[in-house]
Structure 1
Amino acid sequence: MDSKALITAYYAAFNAGRTDEMLTYLHDEVEHHVNEGGIRRGREKFREFNAHMTSSYREELTDIVVFANEAGDRAAAEFVVNGTYLATDEGLPEAKGQKYVLPAGAFFTIRDGKIARVTTYYNLADWMRQVSA
């Protein structure tokens, strides 16, 4: 599977709520660089992150555009996150089912045909404004 197809499949699994399938696209030593946060290393940490996100947020990504370099070892995606804030996340505003629409992007390193790094970016201040309104 080429890099663009790999990232497309990863996001298709996300949108379908198949977080276990997302793990199959990840390298064993995946690094997940979280927006304004730390680095989670390994599939198990990624699984824990997905479980937390699924309990706190319901999200669908739209307008996904995937880019990849010719070597196939780097990729990027731009998309819009359409979400609902379901359960209060520690240190964030109280969840009351608020809807949000947030432009976002991600960068990937591909190794051995798997995603070895995911770095996600979005405007946290914009999200805070939307869920606090």
Structure 2
Amino acid sequence: MSDTIRAYFAAFNAGDIDGMLDCLAEDVAHHVNEGQVRQGKAAFGEFCAHMSRCYREELTDLVIFEAAAGTRAAAEYTVNGTYLETDAGLPKAKGQTYRLPAGSFFSLENGKITRVVTYYNLADWIKQVAA
């Protein structure tokens, strides 16, 4: 299953939303750091399109951990980004760059991701882009 996770992150770094969606189950549950759980590939795709408008990000230092049964995985990485367009309720975007440690947790079934949970320190991000 780590091939699915690797493909997901490779698509993320390539800005390939369709490639990310190919890794997901139709009924994927997307738990974001701040906000409500999104259900389904369509909602995930809308979220990704919004994020691509507001942020350009590359993930580095990627380490993937997989449970023995292959149904759960986790990843730790560094987010290297540029804030492109002001996101509602957040500081004004002026092309600021940021670097954050982050992590994601996954559930998998039949080679597809059924759950994505992502964590990062929002206060740290705000401090970096508000400076």
Q: TM-score interval w.r.t. the shorter chain? A: over 0.9
Aligned 1:1-133 pairs, distance under 5 A: 3-133=1-131
Runs of at least 5 residues in structure 1 that lack an aligned partner in the other structure: none
* Cα deviation 1:64-122 (Å, max 9, x = unaligned): 00000000000000000000000000000000000000000000000121000000000
* Cα deviation 1:32-63 (Å, max 9, x = unaligned): 00002110000000000010000000000000
Task: State the Cα distance separating 1:5 from its structure 2 match.
Answer: 1.3
Aligned sequence identity (%) = 63
Over 2 Å off, 4+ runs: none
Runs of at least 5 residues in structure 2 that lack an aligned partner in the other structure: none
Q: Structure 2: how far apart are the matches of 1:36 and 1:64?
A: 22
Q: Structure 2: how far apart are the matches of 1:37 and 1:109?
A: 20
Structure 1-normalised TM-score? 0.97
Structure 2-normalised TM-score? 0.99
Alignment length (residue pairs):
131
Matched residue SS, 2:125: helix
